[in-house]
Amino acid sequence: MAQPQPETQPAGALPRPTLESVAELAGVSRATASRVVNGGTGVREVLREKVQRAVDELGYSPNLAARTLVTRRNQAVAVVVAEPESRIFSDPFFAQHLRGISRELAAADNQMLLLLIEDERDYERVGRYLAGGHVDGALLFSLHQSDPLPEMARRVNLPTVIGGRPGWPGAESDRELVYVDSDNRGGARMAVQHLRSLGRTRIATITGPLDQTSSLDRLDGYRDLLPDGDPTLIAEGDFTPDGGSRAMTELLARRPDLDAVFAASDAMASGALRVLRAHGRRVPEDVAVIGFDDVESIAAWTDPPLTTIRQDIEEMGRLMARLLLRRLATPAQPLAPTSVITPTRLVRRESA
């Protein structure tokens, strides 16, 4: 096995505490000190505590290359998002999701490495990185139909957790597949039921991209309560405000008599509200509007404030990271449960 190289510092810099100085202060061998600071096992608790006190007193930071040799772990996780950069950094949904992931990984002393898929050319680059041994596992979310990322991770035997219900053939019966999602279908049913309870009868919906399972599940929830619904009351969006605006304009042109809209995201609902106002429609008096997500920076600040279906976006990110870390800690044991579905609930504000 290759031996860790001696630690050095730039000429003229103050001497940096070494592993030898930690061992000397703790009164243990260098090998024992190495096992403690690099996360190894087989050290008595009393010695572990002595080493930790020495580390704290000296301000020692372990050599990451040496740690990797001892633990076979990089302490790094790739987070791969199949969306363009422009959307990742403008949509608060992703900020909340990534915050949950980052906090959970940081609490376990792991680094988050963000990889984005801008277009088809990026898959080869990301695939090479995932296969290169740089990370211990991957969290994949915002996947679209026929996305090659899960198969790429499987091919290199990289532990993976998926964000969102997988929709590719055979996914539901794959016992090795681990994913976290919210109750999209149940949340959509809740939204439509609330609109019906208000006496609305011409209820439209703006879906997300129909190559994503979250969009399909929310559309199915809408159809559960409106099985004989008019297809002219359904328009596809793209989870952005502009997509919501375009879909709302299309719906008004088709069905100017509509009296309610369920938008499959808060971002699209905000765009729909803008179009309704421009067309002189009062919300909720003429048209009631419900979103999905409960992203506070959108829902609480629309005019009027948005009634929406809440999913705990940050907690979903935490759960994804937690499941992956558990899988990495016990690679030989099967992971249960194989999927987690988080609940949704109605948050009433002024738009419906």
Q: Which residue in 250, 276, 282 sits closest to 350, CA to CA?
A: 282
0.85 cut: is pTM over it? no
Contact by Cβ (8 Å): 22, 58: yes
Contact by Cβ (8 Å): 271, 241: yes
- Each of the 352 residues of the chain gets a pLDDT tens digit; together they read 444 444 454 444 456 788 888 888 889 888 888 788 776 677 888 888 888 888 888 887 765 555 554 445 668 999 999 888 888 888 899 999 999 999 999 998 899 999 998 888 888 888 888 888 889 999 998 888 888 888 888 888 889 999 998 877 666 666 678 899 999 999 999 999 999 999 999 999 999 999 999 999 999 999 999 998 899 999 999 999 999 999 999 999 999 999 999 999 999 999 999 999 999 999 999 999 999 999 988 999 999 999 999 999 999 999 999 999 988 887 666 555 578 999 999 999 999 9
Q: Which residue in 154, 124, 143, 146 sits closest to 79, CA to CA?
A: 143
Q: Which residues of 112-146 are buried (b: 16+ CB within 10 A; e: fewer)?
A: bbebbbeeeeebeebbebbeeeebbbbbbbbbbee
In the numeric block, the tokens 């363009």 are attached to 84
Tokens of 5: 């190289």
